Chains A and B, each alone.
Chain A
Amino acid sequence: QVQLQESGPGLVKPSQTLSLTCTVSGGSISSGGYYWSWIRQHPGKGLEWIGYIYYSGSTYYNPSLKSRVTISVDTSKNQFSLKLSSVTAADTAVYYCARDSVVAARGDWFDPWGQGTLVTVSS
């Protein structure tokens, strides 16, 4: 079955760029019908959708983060990545990658998810 795994630095300095990669195994990121997503969760808080990408490179971002977010895909490595620029302490969160299944007239849903990675923004 498809599995996702986040990787990247666990500590980022304020004003720098947070960079994470999600490696997909057990299936191809180029499979149609799926978007590849980033979602974050501030400590003790709820879930915030960051954005997603299709294997073709089409992206959709949360308007609240759009000016700072870039999501890219590398189909040759079966990976997709997140860059969040100009980070502050408010960006400290657990970052999850997830596959978004899209079904016409039924919507879309996130499954499976990676285990998540805590990124702390601190000097």
Chain B
Amino acid sequence: DIQMTQSPSSLSASVGDRVTITCRASQSISSYLNWYQQKPGKAPKLLIYAASSLQSGVPSRFSGSGSGTDFTLTISSLQPEDFATYYCQQSYSTPPVTFGQGTRLEIK
């Protein structure tokens, strides 16, 4: 199975900050990497697919980059509604689909 490791596991930031979350795969996954946002008590929401494609309806302050084993999710200017947990997910080698352990983004 391909292991996905996110860093940091948690992060404190302020409204307006630029934030970067990293996801590393245990082997190359090309660009088969997706990012999700989950708020408490809610289902995850797709933000970015295929490493860098913005899902329809997602604000442009979210962006994704990377290929191979190293990927980043960047929020250019944090908004109050962005405080949530973020997960990466690989679909290069399945089954099984695997997710990162999550990064909790909190208000400083």
Mark A residues whose CB is within 8 Å of B. Answer: 46-49, 51, 60-64, 96, 98, 101, 103, 106-116
Contacts and interface: CB of A to CB of B under 8 A. Distances in A.
A62 B97 CA distance: 8
Contact residues of B: prevailing secondary structure:
loop
A46 B99 contact: yes
A51 B53 CA distance: 25
A46 B92 contact: no
Contact of A64 (B34, B36, B91, B96): B96
B10 interface: no
Nearest to B92: A107
Contact of A96 (B43, B46, B96): B43
A35 B66 CA distance: 26
Interface of B: 1, 31-34, 36, 42-46, 49-50, 53, 55, 87, 89, 91-92, 94-102
A109 B46 contact: yes
Given A46-B102, A106-B50, A111 B55 contact: yes
Contacts of A64: 96
Interface of A is mostly: strand
A47 B42 CA distance: 13
Given A109-B89, A110-B89, A114-B43, A60 B94 contact: yes
A110 B87 contact: no
Contacts of B99: 46-49
6 contacts: A107-B33, A107-B49, A107-B91, A109-B34, A109-B50, A113-B43
A116 B43 contact: yes
A62 B2 CA distance: 12
A106 B49 contact: yes
A63 B50 contact: no
A83 B98 CA distance: 21
Report which residue of A98, A113, A115 has the largest number of chain B beta carbons within 10 angstroms of its beta carbon: A113
A111 B46 contact: yes
Contact of B95 (A63, A107, A115): A63
Nearest to B98: A49
